[in-house]
Amino acid sequence: MQQEVVLALLAKEPSHGYQLRARLRQALGPVGEAMNAGQVYVVLTRLEKAGLVTTETPSPSTTKREPADRKTYALTPQGQQRVAEWLTEVSWPKPDLAEFHLKLVAAAAAGLADPLGIVDTQRRELLRRLREAQRAAMAEPDGSDAGLLLEGIVLRLQADLRWLEACERSWTTRRSTS
């Protein structure tokens, strides 16, 4: 699991680990079912050691519904900066579609960035890479090994662009219904 995903989910509000896991499962649907419950806590520990999150453990008298040892995690200023950087990163040519999806969900939920702007940035980068791959493929002789690889790259980029179009439609619909 990417640390940035957990950071972005914390950008909305400080949370317990179990709340973060529930938000991940909600955002990922069946893809999130295979997620190990301990994964979130391992990531949170790493983020705390890196100075990107802080923890607060409530005293027993502050709440009767929560166990006294349940920690609340919150972003530090460095964690907020890392989320801002992550939202502007272009993750292709090896996209992790679940991570990109979570980037859109977290950006919208916390009001950190416009999901449509993130999609547009990704699209521009994919179109640039598609043009480069198409030019390179056209320069290859028919039947060359490199030509076959370049054809695969072109097809993958085209499929990724179609998925971004679906993302754009979905987020446009969400915006118009809210």
In the chain, domain spans: 1-88, 99-177
Q: What are phi and psi of 64, to 5 degrees?
A: -95, -20
CATH code of the domain made up of 1-88: 1.10.10.10
Residue 99 neighbours by CB distance under 10 Å: 15
The one-digit pLDDT tens for each residue of the chain (178 residues) are: 578 889 999 998 999 999 998 888 888 876 777 778 788 999 999 999 999 999 988 766 555 555 545 899 999 999 999 999 998 888 665 667 888 898 999 999 889 899 999 999 999 999 999 999 999 999 888 888 888 988 998 999 999 999 999 999 999 999 898 7
Distance, C-alpha 148 to centroid of its chain: 31
